[in-house]
Chain A
Amino acid sequence: MTALLEIKDLRAEISGKQILNGYDLVVNAGEIHAIMGPNGSGKSTLSYVLSGRPGYEITGGQALLNGADLSEMTVDERAAAGLFLAFQYPLEVPGVPTMTFLRAALNSQRKKRGEEELSSPELLKRIREAAKVLGMDPEMLRRAVNVGFSGGEKKRAETLQMMLLEPKLCILDETDSGLDIDALKVVASGVNQMRSKDRGMIVITHYQRLLDYITPDVVHVQSAGRIVRTGGKELALELEATGYAQYQSEAA
């Protein structure tokens, strides 16, 4: 069986600076992997390399999504292939209503996959359902994408987009940053609702607390641009107790 995501000896750099140094990771459908690590260990970098952010250049190794080489796809092709990145700092798109944005994104992906466009009433229905799970006021969706949203609202909106686009691989980049505990629970419930045997997730986080609500199957510790240790969910608790100091020295 082909893995959902297979990363083999991946090397990447940004403006000539090496940031991933031989990264190996396999995520199968149905699994949730947590990636933890100290600040500056390149956790967000991995998400940007996989999603194809301009400026992040793969210099060696491979990243395969369902067997297809990600480096050969444009950003939007990767999205249509099922890769979703929940941004740590979601961008604002002034003047574009969230609803318009969601419709454009969803239909654009469906078109690329050779699927029918979704009718407006059907789309609306799905959006309302997702908004309900996340406790979002549908009025908010008339406002421009992320403009004037609080930190918590932005994270909810990211989760809403994820629920709507039904990706195969979700990468959650520091989704817990800037969230209070109540918002964190709401976002986590949205994420948990998306757990399925067909879907894999990578949860990138600095703190253990998110993992109280989204239970991972595997926990990795990343340092200096590669994975240095892998374990079960108990590893997260251990890290909470001991901190990252030992991994920083290990990397050095």
Chain B
Amino acid sequence: MAGDNRKPLQPTQAESGLVELFAARRISGDNLPSLCAEAFEAFQAKGLPSRREEAWKYTDLRSLMRDVKPLATPPEPAAKELAREAGLLKETGFRRIVFVGGYFAPELSDLQDIEEGLSIGSLSEALATQDSFAASYLGKIYPAEDSAFALNTAFMSEGVVVRVRPGATIERPLHFVFVANATQPATYFLRSLVVVEKGARATFIESFEGADQCDYHVNAATEMVVGEEARVERIKISREGDQALHVSTLVATLAQNARLNDFALTIGGSLVRNQTFVKLEGRGAAANLRGANILAGKEHADSTLLLDHAVEGSESKALFKSVLDDDSQAVFQGKIRVRPAAQHTDARMMARALLLSGAAQAICKPELEIFADDVQCGHGSTVGALDQELKFYLMARGIAEADAVGLLVEAFIGETLDGIEHSSVRDHMTSLVAELNERK
């Protein structure tokens, strides 16, 4: 009975567009890795993900993505100038690696004094030189069966390749800045690879930003390997323009005693989908995933997680919060999978949504899929409105209504920010959220 026995659908305009786009890429692209062609075949077999697919039930990309924007062309100087002005977390002293309109911008990046044990390169270069290190990981870390990710693999052309060698501790956060080109509608396929080897430590920030009224699509993916005893902190920020469609995938594997501490903030974009596939494949591995969505207008944000516990004795925690105003919509889907071998798994998941408007919608689907008996797993979720008494209390102390709501929203979101371990990153993120929240 397994499988979908419904009739295949007619290709949509976007799907046909992608076929043409890929055909063009195949002709122009010299040395297109076979991986890309295989991924495109896998994509074509399923088409764009639709609500017929359980994992995309509430974000029907097939109907939401009406057309395909052309592949990005190198940005003109004007675009770069605009990008220079843009920038979240600019005055922080973090190491910025900047991409404008899908192209690496070395002149805007900080590549001085690279720490020992750290190497940073661009994906385009790795592909052009057929770099064996990158090739041994790309698309091989954790084969997530997802057609949006397959599409990213098929079209991957630019992004960051980072390697942190065994034992190295990179204190200064690396900030990958992806700025959309404000002067042309385009599709960006960004792909990064982060390999943190045994016992190493590093903090990464990926931020995505773009201008309003600019029609563009982002399909970003990061593949990450966290080696034995390694610790990685990753922050992802989506601050896309109001027309933008943004789909991003994180695929990560955690080896023995590895730790991943991940936080994703979404505060812009017409449609944002953050999907995270984490496989805990070493004993003692621990993943801590958090997310915050602050949405308004007709924004739609979807956070979908899979925490795949594959071996004995690993741990995961997830905490996701959404604040929804106007007609916005937040989707949370989190699945904890405990495979037969994964005895003594400890997994907890919590999702909360705060509805500020009568027309906002929160959808929540936390799943447990348990095949081992000696485990502690749980999830919880709540949906509700702002505590009116609390708001009244603040207002009775002389705080204006909007400020009172702002304070309560920040307090609600705060718990997700508190989990950021790098103290300077946490401070900057906390002020960033306060600032963006105020603007909203």
Any A–B CB pair closer than 8 Å:
no
Seen from chain B, the residues whose Cβ lies within 8 Å of a Cβ on chain A are none
Residues of A within 8 A of B (CB): none
